[in-house]
A = this chain, B = another copy of it.
Amino acid sequence: MVFGKVAIVGVGLIGGSFGLALKAAKRCGRIVGVGRGVANLELALERGAIDAFETEIGKAVTDADLVLLATPVAQFPQAVASMAKDLMPAALVTDGGSTKRDVVAAARSGLGERCAQFVPAHPIAGAEKSGAGAASADLFRGRKVVLTPLEENAPEKVRVARDVWEALGATTSLMTPEAHDALFAAVSHLPHLLAYALVGEIAGRPDAAQLFGYAAGGFRDFTRIASSHPEMWRDICIANSDRLLAEIAKFSGALRRFEKALQAKDVGQLERLFAEARAARERWLNGEYG
């Protein structure tokens, strides 16, 4: 399916890459961007991710056949409400948010019955870089996109939404918003929070300079995700706070097992804990978890 006019609300890493990839796939006519920062929108224009920009969401979505919401998730309720009256009845709305229960709620409250037009999606294609300058036509290639359809979505609408993301090179799968948020709290949101916590804790010490001075490649990779966008992660953590708190509790339990083994100097238990974790990671890298 080719979309005549496309509106991208929030032209950062995800929104900009969506524009570039959609054009590369020849799946669209004109792309109009909307955003808060004019400098970023001009950069997106210059890079060809959009063809024009508007400052009002209503204007951007007027006559649009496809709308992508790609702002930080806390802005979704207002953004969805702003587009409601101008959205064409046949338009498909999808998004790039990393949480999904809040997005479903925003779709329902902002669009009412027309929430049937909104098929929520989460492209698993984050990066610690942000902004239109970091956008790439290949960002979604080979990546997974999880769609969490509303019961209001017609099957055909879901099919078209999958087709859009697959046209950008992604593979798609379906999940409930609840399952999605629980899953990503564990494998994405918690690791981000741990990385931020570690870096922040060390940065707050009087001898931070010496500590960072000896931090090496392991530390760099472990904390890479702590260079992600603070506003985006603030919103994700707030939107998914219940599941994230549950994950923190589970992780704290796991950490306590190591703590106890260390206190008891339980050599066998420590080696077992390390070996089991390494073996699981090897199975994952070997694709045994699918």
Q: Which residue numbers of A lie inside 8 Å of B, CB to CB?
A: 74, 124-128, 143-144, 146, 183-184, 186-188, 190-204, 208-228, 230-231, 233-234, 237-238, 241, 244-245, 248, 250-255, 257-259, 262-263, 265, 267, 270-271, 273-278, 280-285, 289-290
Contact = CB atoms under 8 A, between A and B. Distances in A.
Contacts of A208: 280, 289
Nearest to A235: B267
A277 B229 CA distance: 11
A230 B188 CA distance: 24
Contacts of A251: 197-198, 201
Contacts of A200: 254, 273, 276-277, 280
B238 A211 contact: no
A250 B275 CA distance: 25
Contact of A216 (B126, B267, B282, B290): B126
- Consensus secondary structure, chain A interface: helix
A189 to B, nearest CB: 10
Contacts of A213: 289-290
A230 B186 contact: no
**What are the 10 tightest A-B residue pairs by CB atom distance, in nearest-first order?**
A203-B280, A230-B274, A212-B289, A201-B254, A200-B277, A230-B275, A234-B271, A199-B277, A187-B215, A196-B277
A170 to B, nearest CB: 12
12 contacts: A184-B214, A187-B202, A197-B258, A203-B277, A212-B280, A215-B284, A223-B281, A226-B277, A234-B271, A244-B262, A245-B263, A248-B259
A243 to B, nearest CB: 10
Given A250-B201, A273-B196, A241 B224 contact: no
A193 to B, nearest CB: 6
A74 to B, nearest CB: 8
B230 A278 contact: yes
Contacts of A289: 208-209, 212-213
A221 B219 contact: no
Contact of A187 (B214, B221, B276): B214
Given A215-B284, A219-B187, A274-B230, A196 B244 contact: no
B234 A274 contact: yes
Contacts of A250: 201
B201 A188 contact: no
A150 B1 CA distance: 73
**Centre residue among A144, A196, A211, A253 by max chain B CB count within 10 A:** A196
Contact of A192 (B126, B193, B218): B218
A227 B278 contact: yes
A144 to B, nearest CB: 7
